[in-house]
Amino acid sequence: MNPASMATRRAPTFTRSALAARVREFRGKRVLVVGDVILDRYLWGRATRVSPEAPVLVVDVEREEFRLGGAANVAHNVASLGAVPVLFGVCGTDLASSGLASLLRERGVDPEAGMISDAARRTTVKTRIIAHHQQVLRADEETRDALADSSRARLLERVEAALAGADAVILSDYGKGVLSPPLLDALLPELSRRGIPTAVDPKEEQFFRYKGVTIITPNVNEASQAWGRRIRNEVELAEAGFGLREKLASRSVLITRGEDGMSLFDEEGHTHIPTKAREVYDVTGAGDTVVATMGAALAARAPLAEACVLANHAAGLVVAHLGTAAATADDLIASLQDLEA
Protein backbone atom coordinates (compact mmCIF):
# COMPACT_ATOMS: atom_id res chain seq x y z
CA MET A 1 0.00 0.00 0.00
CA ASN A 2 1.42 3.38 -1.05
CA PRO A 3 0.99 5.85 1.85
CA ALA A 4 0.96 8.78 -0.55
CA SER A 5 -2.10 7.35 -2.27
CA MET A 6 -4.06 6.89 0.95
CA ALA A 7 -6.05 9.95 1.97
CA THR A 8 -6.43 10.43 5.71
CA ARG A 9 -9.99 9.79 6.86
CA ARG A 10 -11.67 11.11 9.92
CA ALA A 11 -13.07 8.48 12.25
CA PRO A 12 -16.43 7.11 11.13
CA THR A 13 -19.39 8.70 12.86
CA PHE A 14 -20.77 6.56 15.66
CA THR A 15 -23.90 7.51 17.53
CA ARG A 16 -23.93 7.99 21.28
CA SER A 17 -26.44 5.19 21.75
CA ALA A 18 -24.40 2.71 19.69
CA LEU A 19 -21.17 3.46 21.54
CA ALA A 20 -22.91 3.36 24.93
CA ALA A 21 -24.40 -0.01 24.05
CA ARG A 22 -20.95 -1.30 23.16
CA VAL A 23 -19.51 -0.13 26.49
CA ARG A 24 -22.29 -2.01 28.29
CA GLU A 25 -21.24 -5.12 26.35
CA PHE A 26 -17.85 -4.97 28.10
CA ARG A 27 -19.48 -6.35 31.24
CA GLY A 28 -18.43 -9.90 31.93
CA LYS A 29 -15.96 -10.13 29.06
CA ARG A 30 -12.81 -11.96 30.17
CA VAL A 31 -9.61 -10.10 29.30
CA LEU A 32 -6.19 -11.60 30.06
CA VAL A 33 -3.52 -9.00 30.89
CA VAL A 34 0.06 -10.24 30.65
CA GLY A 35 3.05 -8.05 31.46
CA ASP A 36 5.10 -6.04 33.91
CA VAL A 37 3.23 -5.17 37.10
CA ILE A 38 4.27 -2.01 38.91
CA LEU A 39 3.42 -0.45 42.25
CA ASP A 40 3.37 3.34 42.02
CA ARG A 41 4.18 5.21 45.22
CA TYR A 42 3.44 8.93 45.50
CA LEU A 43 4.85 11.26 48.14
CA TRP A 44 2.93 14.54 48.20
CA GLY A 45 4.29 17.62 49.88
CA ARG A 46 5.61 21.17 49.73
CA ALA A 47 9.03 22.41 48.64
CA THR A 48 9.89 25.67 50.39
CA ARG A 49 13.67 25.49 50.80
CA VAL A 50 16.92 24.22 49.35
CA SER A 51 19.01 21.65 51.21
CA PRO A 52 22.19 22.98 52.88
CA GLU A 53 23.85 19.65 51.96
CA ALA A 54 23.40 19.88 48.18
CA PRO A 55 21.65 22.13 45.63
CA VAL A 56 18.40 20.17 45.77
CA LEU A 57 14.90 20.94 46.96
CA VAL A 58 13.73 19.70 50.33
CA VAL A 59 10.18 18.38 50.13
CA ASP A 60 8.17 18.31 53.33
CA VAL A 61 6.10 15.16 52.79
CA GLU A 62 2.48 15.54 53.87
CA ARG A 63 0.95 12.29 52.61
CA GLU A 64 1.76 9.01 50.92
CA GLU A 65 -0.36 7.23 48.32
CA PHE A 66 -0.05 3.96 46.41
CA ARG A 67 -1.50 3.27 42.97
CA LEU A 68 -1.28 0.50 40.42
CA GLY A 69 1.09 0.87 37.48
CA GLY A 70 2.10 -0.98 34.34
CA ALA A 71 0.14 -4.15 33.61
CA ALA A 72 -1.51 -3.83 37.03
CA ASN A 73 -2.94 -0.47 36.00
CA VAL A 74 -4.09 -1.96 32.70
CA ALA A 75 -5.96 -4.65 34.65
CA HIS A 76 -7.43 -1.96 36.93
CA ASN A 77 -8.68 -0.07 33.87
CA VAL A 78 -10.21 -3.24 32.43
CA ALA A 79 -12.04 -3.85 35.72
CA SER A 80 -13.23 -0.23 35.90
CA LEU A 81 -14.73 -0.57 32.44
CA GLY A 82 -16.81 -3.53 33.60
CA ALA A 83 -14.86 -6.37 32.01
CA VAL A 84 -13.19 -9.15 34.01
CA PRO A 85 -9.38 -8.88 34.03
CA VAL A 86 -7.11 -11.84 34.72
CA LEU A 87 -3.65 -10.47 35.51
CA PHE A 88 -0.49 -12.44 34.75
CA GLY A 89 2.84 -11.10 35.98
CA VAL A 90 5.67 -11.57 38.44
CA CYS A 91 6.44 -9.90 41.75
CA GLY A 92 8.99 -10.51 44.48
CA THR A 93 8.41 -11.86 47.96
CA ASP A 94 9.12 -8.48 49.55
CA LEU A 95 6.91 -6.09 51.48
CA ALA A 96 5.95 -4.27 48.29
CA SER A 97 4.40 -7.45 46.89
CA SER A 98 1.96 -7.56 49.81
CA GLY A 99 0.98 -3.95 49.24
CA LEU A 100 0.53 -4.65 45.54
CA ALA A 101 -1.74 -7.63 46.23
CA SER A 102 -3.89 -5.63 48.64
CA LEU A 103 -4.27 -2.78 46.19
CA LEU A 104 -5.19 -5.14 43.38
CA ARG A 105 -7.98 -6.62 45.49
CA GLU A 106 -9.28 -3.16 46.33
CA ARG A 107 -9.42 -2.34 42.62
CA GLY A 108 -11.31 -5.48 41.63
CA VAL A 109 -8.36 -7.52 40.34
CA ASP A 110 -7.64 -10.98 41.77
CA PRO A 111 -3.89 -11.07 42.57
CA GLU A 112 -3.87 -14.85 42.84
CA ALA A 113 -5.51 -15.74 39.51
CA GLY A 114 -2.39 -15.41 37.41
CA MET A 115 0.39 -13.73 39.38
CA ILE A 116 3.47 -15.67 40.47
CA SER A 117 6.19 -14.70 42.94
CA ASP A 118 9.95 -15.02 42.51
CA ALA A 119 12.16 -14.53 45.56
CA ALA A 120 15.09 -13.63 43.30
CA ARG A 121 13.32 -10.55 41.93
CA ARG A 122 12.19 -7.27 43.41
CA THR A 123 8.64 -6.07 43.04
CA THR A 124 8.84 -3.05 40.76
CA VAL A 125 8.15 0.15 42.71
CA LYS A 126 8.25 3.63 41.20
CA THR A 127 8.33 6.41 43.80
CA ARG A 128 7.30 9.85 42.58
CA ILE A 129 7.77 12.92 44.76
CA ILE A 130 5.17 15.59 44.03
CA ALA A 131 5.52 19.16 45.26
CA HIS A 132 2.91 21.80 44.47
CA HIS A 133 1.23 19.42 41.99
CA GLN A 134 4.46 18.90 40.01
CA GLN A 135 6.69 15.86 39.96
CA VAL A 136 10.17 16.80 41.15
CA LEU A 137 11.82 13.37 41.42
CA ARG A 138 11.25 9.70 40.60
CA ALA A 139 13.10 6.76 42.15
CA ASP A 140 12.77 3.22 40.74
CA GLU A 141 13.26 -0.09 42.54
CA GLU A 142 13.13 -3.00 40.12
CA THR A 143 14.66 -6.04 38.44
CA ARG A 144 14.87 -5.68 34.66
CA ASP A 145 16.49 -9.01 33.82
CA ALA A 146 14.48 -11.56 31.87
CA LEU A 147 12.63 -14.09 33.98
CA ALA A 148 14.45 -17.21 35.07
CA ASP A 149 13.48 -20.26 33.02
CA SER A 150 11.52 -21.74 35.91
CA SER A 151 9.49 -18.57 36.51
CA ARG A 152 8.82 -18.13 32.81
CA ALA A 153 7.58 -21.72 32.54
CA ARG A 154 5.25 -21.27 35.54
CA LEU A 155 3.85 -18.03 34.18
CA LEU A 156 3.37 -19.37 30.66
CA GLU A 157 1.62 -22.46 32.02
CA ARG A 158 -0.87 -20.25 33.86
CA VAL A 159 -1.52 -18.08 30.81
CA GLU A 160 -2.02 -21.03 28.48
CA ALA A 161 -4.42 -22.66 30.92
CA ALA A 162 -6.58 -19.52 30.87
CA LEU A 163 -6.73 -19.04 27.09
CA ALA A 164 -9.75 -21.26 26.59
CA GLY A 165 -11.99 -18.76 28.39
CA ALA A 166 -10.38 -15.57 27.09
CA ASP A 167 -12.32 -13.03 25.02
CA ALA A 168 -9.19 -10.92 24.43
CA VAL A 169 -5.55 -10.65 25.53
CA ILE A 170 -3.55 -7.54 26.36
CA LEU A 171 0.26 -7.56 26.43
CA SER A 172 1.64 -4.68 28.54
CA ASP A 173 5.40 -4.34 28.02
CA TYR A 174 7.29 -2.01 30.35
CA GLY A 175 10.66 -3.62 29.74
CA LYS A 176 10.96 -5.28 33.16
CA GLY A 177 11.66 -8.78 31.82
CA VAL A 178 8.27 -10.53 31.92
CA LEU A 179 7.50 -10.36 28.20
CA SER A 180 10.83 -11.89 27.21
CA PRO A 181 11.55 -13.23 23.71
CA PRO A 182 11.15 -16.89 24.77
CA LEU A 183 7.76 -16.19 26.37
CA LEU A 184 6.54 -14.25 23.34
CA ASP A 185 7.83 -16.89 20.93
CA ALA A 186 5.71 -19.46 22.78
CA LEU A 187 2.61 -17.32 23.41
CA LEU A 188 2.04 -15.30 20.23
CA PRO A 189 1.64 -18.29 17.85
CA GLU A 190 -0.87 -19.81 20.26
CA LEU A 191 -2.91 -16.60 20.36
CA SER A 192 -2.90 -16.50 16.58
CA ARG A 193 -3.88 -20.17 16.32
CA ARG A 194 -6.83 -19.63 18.64
CA GLY A 195 -7.89 -16.40 16.93
CA ILE A 196 -7.93 -14.44 20.20
CA PRO A 197 -7.95 -10.64 19.66
CA THR A 198 -4.68 -9.27 21.03
CA ALA A 199 -3.77 -5.67 21.87
CA VAL A 200 -0.17 -4.69 22.64
CA ASP A 201 1.33 -1.70 24.43
CA PRO A 202 4.93 -2.21 23.23
CA LYS A 203 8.42 -1.40 24.41
CA GLU A 204 10.76 -0.18 21.69
CA GLU A 205 13.48 -2.75 22.37
CA GLN A 206 11.39 -5.67 21.11
CA PHE A 207 8.78 -3.89 19.04
CA PHE A 208 9.10 -6.27 16.09
CA ARG A 209 8.58 -9.39 18.17
CA TYR A 210 4.87 -8.55 18.32
CA LYS A 211 4.11 -9.88 14.87
CA GLY A 212 0.63 -10.87 13.81
CA VAL A 213 -1.25 -9.17 16.67
CA THR A 214 -4.62 -7.51 16.22
CA ILE A 215 -3.43 -4.04 17.23
CA ILE A 216 -0.27 -2.47 18.60
CA THR A 217 -0.50 0.96 20.29
CA PRO A 218 2.82 2.88 20.30
CA ASN A 219 2.93 6.58 21.01
CA VAL A 220 4.48 8.76 18.32
CA ASN A 221 7.94 8.68 19.91
CA GLU A 222 7.90 4.88 20.19
CA ALA A 223 6.70 4.62 16.59
CA SER A 224 9.51 6.93 15.46
CA GLN A 225 12.12 4.81 17.21
CA ALA A 226 10.71 1.59 15.80
CA TRP A 227 10.54 3.06 12.29
CA GLY A 228 14.08 4.40 12.60
CA ARG A 229 13.16 7.92 11.54
CA ARG A 230 11.59 10.85 13.34
CA ILE A 231 7.94 11.43 12.50
CA ARG A 232 7.61 15.17 11.82
CA ASN A 233 4.55 15.54 9.61
CA GLU A 234 1.50 13.72 8.28
CA VAL A 235 3.34 12.19 5.30
CA GLU A 236 6.03 10.69 7.55
CA LEU A 237 3.32 9.54 9.96
CA ALA A 238 1.55 7.65 7.18
CA GLU A 239 4.81 6.12 5.96
CA ALA A 240 5.64 4.93 9.48
CA GLY A 241 2.12 3.69 10.25
CA PHE A 242 1.68 1.65 7.10
CA GLY A 243 5.33 0.57 7.14
CA LEU A 244 5.16 -0.71 10.70
CA ARG A 245 1.92 -2.54 9.99
CA GLU A 246 3.55 -4.27 7.03
CA LYS A 247 6.69 -5.20 8.97
CA LEU A 248 4.64 -6.55 11.83
CA ALA A 249 2.13 -8.33 9.61
CA SER A 250 -0.42 -7.09 12.13
CA ARG A 251 -4.04 -6.26 11.53
CA SER A 252 -3.54 -2.66 12.64
CA VAL A 253 -1.25 -0.05 14.18
CA LEU A 254 -2.63 2.71 16.39
CA ILE A 255 -0.22 5.61 16.93
CA THR A 256 -1.23 7.80 19.86
CA ARG A 257 -0.26 11.44 19.35
CA GLY A 258 -1.13 13.33 22.54
CA GLU A 259 -2.93 16.58 21.78
CA ASP A 260 -3.07 15.59 18.09
CA GLY A 261 -5.29 12.59 18.83
CA MET A 262 -4.71 9.12 17.37
CA SER A 263 -4.01 7.62 13.97
CA LEU A 264 -5.24 4.14 13.06
CA PHE A 265 -3.62 2.24 10.21
CA ASP A 266 -5.47 -0.88 9.06
CA GLU A 267 -6.75 -2.55 5.92
CA GLU A 268 -9.20 0.34 5.43
CA GLY A 269 -6.40 2.92 5.32
CA HIS A 270 -5.43 5.77 7.65
CA THR A 271 -8.10 7.01 10.03
CA HIS A 272 -7.49 10.15 12.10
CA ILE A 273 -9.23 10.39 15.48
CA PRO A 274 -9.07 13.89 17.04
CA THR A 275 -8.31 14.11 20.74
CA LYS A 276 -11.18 14.19 23.21
CA ALA A 277 -9.09 15.52 26.10
CA ARG A 278 -10.57 18.76 27.39
CA GLU A 279 -7.81 19.38 29.92
CA VAL A 280 -4.43 17.63 30.06
CA TYR A 281 -3.10 17.51 33.60
CA ASP A 282 -0.89 14.41 33.50
CA VAL A 283 -0.39 11.81 30.74
CA THR A 284 0.94 9.17 33.17
CA GLY A 285 -0.91 5.93 32.52
CA ALA A 286 -2.81 7.21 29.48
CA GLY A 287 -1.29 4.43 27.36
CA ASP A 288 -2.56 1.89 29.90
CA THR A 289 -6.07 3.25 29.52
CA VAL A 290 -5.89 3.18 25.73
CA VAL A 291 -4.76 -0.44 25.51
CA ALA A 292 -7.17 -1.52 28.28
CA THR A 293 -10.12 0.04 26.45
CA MET A 294 -8.98 -1.48 23.17
CA GLY A 295 -8.78 -4.89 24.84
CA ALA A 296 -12.23 -4.60 26.40
CA ALA A 297 -13.74 -3.35 23.14
CA LEU A 298 -12.14 -6.14 21.10
CA ALA A 299 -13.44 -8.63 23.66
CA ALA A 300 -16.91 -7.22 22.95
CA ARG A 301 -16.21 -7.68 19.22
CA ALA A 302 -16.18 -3.97 18.42
CA PRO A 303 -14.81 -2.96 14.99
CA LEU A 304 -11.33 -1.45 15.22
CA ALA A 305 -12.37 2.12 14.44
CA GLU A 306 -15.13 1.98 17.05
CA ALA A 307 -12.73 0.55 19.64
CA CYS A 308 -10.28 3.38 18.93
CA VAL A 309 -12.95 6.04 19.35
CA LEU A 310 -13.85 4.60 22.75
CA ALA A 311 -10.17 4.39 23.72
CA ASN A 312 -9.75 8.03 22.71
CA HIS A 313 -12.64 9.10 24.95
CA ALA A 314 -11.30 7.04 27.87
CA ALA A 315 -7.81 8.55 27.51
CA GLY A 316 -9.33 12.02 27.51
CA LEU A 317 -10.86 11.27 30.90
CA VAL A 318 -7.72 10.00 32.66
CA VAL A 319 -5.30 12.71 31.51
CA ALA A 320 -7.35 15.21 33.50
CA HIS A 321 -6.02 13.57 36.71
CA LEU A 322 -2.56 13.73 38.27
CA GLY A 323 -0.94 10.29 38.26
CA THR A 324 -2.38 7.01 37.05
CA ALA A 325 -6.17 6.87 36.91
CA ALA A 326 -8.92 4.70 35.44
CA ALA A 327 -12.13 5.56 33.63
CA THR A 328 -15.27 3.73 34.67
CA ALA A 329 -17.89 2.47 32.24
CA ASP A 330 -20.28 5.16 33.49
CA ASP A 331 -17.61 7.85 33.02
CA LEU A 332 -16.98 6.66 29.49
CA ILE A 333 -20.66 6.63 28.59
CA ALA A 334 -21.09 10.11 30.09
CA SER A 335 -18.18 11.40 27.96
CA LEU A 336 -20.15 10.53 24.83
CA GLN A 337 -22.80 13.18 25.47
CA ASP A 338 -21.44 15.50 22.80
CA LEU A 339 -22.17 12.93 20.09
CA GLU A 340 -25.40 12.62 18.16
CA ALA A 341 -27.93 10.29 19.72
The catalytic residues are 288
HEC letters along the chain: CCHHHCCEEECCCCCHHHHHHHHHCCCCCEEEEEECEEEEEEEEEEEEEECCCCCCEEEEEEEEEEEEEEHHHHHHHHHHCCCEEEEECEECCCHHHHHHHHHHHHCCCCCCCCCEECCCCCCCEEEEEEECCEEEEEEEECCCCCCCHHHHHHHHHHHHHHHHHCCEEEEECCCCCCCCHHHHHHHHHHHHHHCCCEEEECCHHHHHHCCCCCEECCEHHHHHHHHCCCCCCHHHHHHHHHHHHHHHCCCEEEEECHHHCEEEEECCEEEEECCCCCCCCCCCCHHHHHHHHHHHHHHCCCCHHHHHHHHHHHHHHHCCCCCCCCCCHHHHHHCCCCCCC
